[in-house]
């Protein structure tokens, strides 16, 4: 297994360097093994910032950043904190590249960049928050429906008491605050970064957030939102297929990461084009290529 891991590391780093040479920009790949290891927690969390600190250390930050994202999402607070750190390191000069999937908080991370590069096969997802595995907006909608039905017909009270009784007393308020938090964060990022300098930037951002968080329209937290729909809403998304050389380089990198995640114990990888990486395995964490980890 150790030899297999080393071979996979060599191949990934070779093609990350190729992508860097082609774009002239810093490259950081942020990959989760959620597709091949669905039972392992590989969502966005506070521990990821340690990995980013390691891979950013020593980079020429004036060259900007291409952030390759493949994640099912994760913790809102950790995502917001990670975005804040990346902004301090690279200001607004960050492009998101989504070779396949960036869902939920991964979408929030992509929306915090100046533009998004996606292929025909790529997708983002609704970023409505989940609390205890339940969509916050679904809970709010359920409470509102209960209120309307009971107000109209008191005989419905017993039924709704059984349904609503499964929630703790403060759960509705928690859902409402989580929705406000995620919506305001994404609105702020879109207005200040992607739509920076545009007239009515905040109005545009709010319109996009409303449409992408509509429970009625999305129906499920797992809905896949593709490039054409995002572009129609006004998101600055560029087709990967528009640059053949870039497409080949990005997809080669993506396939190398997918092979690693499928064929080794790795379940989370944060890695730059210089070969510095933090790799979280199903076994304990292994830090590679960081001689004297320090903050840039």
Write out pLDDT tens, residues 42-87.
Answer: 999 999 999 999 999 999 999 999 999 999 999 899 999 999 999 9
- Measured CA to CA, the distance from residue 270 to residue 285 in angstroms comes to 12
- CA dist 56 → 16, 68, 73, 170, 262 (Å): 15, 14, 21, 40, 26
Q: Is 274 helix (H, G, I), strand (E, B) or coil?
A: coil
Residue extent(s) of CATH 3.90.226 domains in the chain = 2-125+224-288
| pLDDT of 32 | 97
Alpha carbon 182 to chain centroid, angstroms: 13
Q: Measured at the alpha carbon of residue 142, what is the angle toward residues 207 and 225, in degrees to the nearest 5?
A: 40
| Tens digit of each residue's pLDDT (9 = 90 or more) over 92-113 | 999 999 999 999 999 999 999 9
Q: Which pTM was predicted?
A: 0.85
Q: CATH classification of 2-125+224-288 is 1.25.40, yes or no?
A: no
- State the maximum Cα–Cα separation within the chain, in Å, rounded to a whole number: 69
Q: What is the block-wise mean pLDDT of the chain (296 residues), using blocks of 10 residues? A: 75 97 97 94 94 97 98 93 97 98 95 98 86 72 76 80 77 83 94 95 94 68 88 96 96 97 95 96 61 44
**Residue 188 tokens, joined:** 């702020």
């Amino acid at each position: 297994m150790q030899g297999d891991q080393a071979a996979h590391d060599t191949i990934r780093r070779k093609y990350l360097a190729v992508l860097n040479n082609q774009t002239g920009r810093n490259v950081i790949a942020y990959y989760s093994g959620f597709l091949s290891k669905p039972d392992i927690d590989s969502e966005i969390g506070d521990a990821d910032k340690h990995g980013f600190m390691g891979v950013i250390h020593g980079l020429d930050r004036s060259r900007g950043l291409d952030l390759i994202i493949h994640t099912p999402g994760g913790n809102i607070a950790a995502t917001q904190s990670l975005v804040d750190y990346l902004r301090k390191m690279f200001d607004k000069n960050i492009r998101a590249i989504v070779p396949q999937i960036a869902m939920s908080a991964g979408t929030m991370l992509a929306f915090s960049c100046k533009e998004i590069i996606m292929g025909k096969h790529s997708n983002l997802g609704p970023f409505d928050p989940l609390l205890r595995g339940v969509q916050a907006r679904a809970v709010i909608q359920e409470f509102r429906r209960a209120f309307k039905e009971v107000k109209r017909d008191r005989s419905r009270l017993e039924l709704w008491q059984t349904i609503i009784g499964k929630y703790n007393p403060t759960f509705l308020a928690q859902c409402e605050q989580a929705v406000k938090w995620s919506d305001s964060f994404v609105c702020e990022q879109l207005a200040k970064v992607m739509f920076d300098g545009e007239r009515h930037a905040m109005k545009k951002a709010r319109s996009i957030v409303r449409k992408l968080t509509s429970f009625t329209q999305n129906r499920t937290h797992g809905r896949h939102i593709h490039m054409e729909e995002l572009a129609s809403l006004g998101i600055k998304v560029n087709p990967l297929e528009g640059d053949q050389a870039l497409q080949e380089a990005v997809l080669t990198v993506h396939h190398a990461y997918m092979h690693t995640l499928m064929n080794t114990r790795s379940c989370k990888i944060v890695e730059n084009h210089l070969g510095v990486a933090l790799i979280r395995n199903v076994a304990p964490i292994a830090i590679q290529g960081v001689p004297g980890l320090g903050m840039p």
